[in-house]
Copies of this chain bind each other. A is one copy, B any other.
């Protein structure tokens, strides 16, 4: 596996699959690498904690970083190129161009500026790597919806693939943020997948998915619970903050991701 730190060194050609990551790689990322490996000549993983998508400096500072561990995981999953640029490489002095997306849903409303940062760095990564396909996890469904819109609107010509959420044995979706939960906090966080499962179950019985999920949160107040349309697919999405850690998750209501 080649580790590349500058845009100039990248020099890619042929059929490329890109997995954009912020590092702190876990089983969810492994699933993305495997999906990319199965259908790409060259698999590129980017490793960049994107300051532009954090509205909160403390959240950015607390974001876990361990490049050696991440490189070992990427290599083990068959990644060919690990693109790990510095902050200055992607945001040089005088940087001042932003990709703004209208109507970014509940996750966008809850985190002002977040999707601007996501959209901007994705456009940059797509232009630098020129991938044929890019891989995202279903857990970040609203991010996927925003990126698909940007790809269509700006004619980026990248196929956005969505890989099913990977869950730990207790049902919590793998997330780089989970390492910041206390044992007790993790126990409380399980209300998120449980409420979503209850909402999905209610939906199949013709009941109100959002109301059922909200009721199931009993006591814990979610940041939002909302129905998200992702192409022909409908998801029930929610966010909750536990131990000052903001967790998101979603489940399928209608359609499928492929």
A interface residue numbers (CB < 8 A to B): 7, 92, 94-103, 119-120, 123-124, 127-128, 149-150, 152-157
Contact = CB atoms under 8 A, between A and B. Distances in A.
Contact of A97 (B7, B92, B97, B154): B154
Contact of A155 (B100, B103, B127): B127
A149 B149 CA distance: 23
A153 B7 CA distance: 12
**Which interface residue of A98, A128, A152, A157 has the most chain B CB atoms within 10 A?**
A98
Contacts of A154: 97, 99, 120, 123-124, 127
Nearest to A101: B97
A128 B154 CA distance: 9
Task: Give chain A's interface secondary structure class.
Answer: mixed
B156 A127 contact: yes
The 5 closest A-B pairs by CB, nearest first: A96-B102, A97-B153, A127-B155, A98-B100, A128-B155
B99 A99 contact: yes
A91 to B, nearest CB: 8
B96 A149 contact: yes
Contacts of A156: 127
Contacts of A120: 154
A96 B155 contact: no
Number of copies: 2
Contacts of A97: 99-102, 119, 149-150, 153-154
Given A124-B154, A128-B155, A154-B127, A103 B99 contact: no
A153 B128 CA distance: 11
5 contacts: A92-B152, A95-B153, A96-B103, A97-B149, A98-B101
Given A96-B103, A97-B102, A99-B154, 8 more contacts: A7-B155, A94-B149, A96-B153, A97-B150, A123-B123, A124-B153, A127-B155, A128-B155
Nearest to A7: B155
A102 B96 CA distance: 5
Contact of A127 (B7, B98, B100, B157): B157
A150 B150 CA distance: 16
A119 B123 CA distance: 14
A163 to B, nearest CB: 24
A39 B96 CA distance: 31
Nearest to A91: B153
Nearest to A146: B97
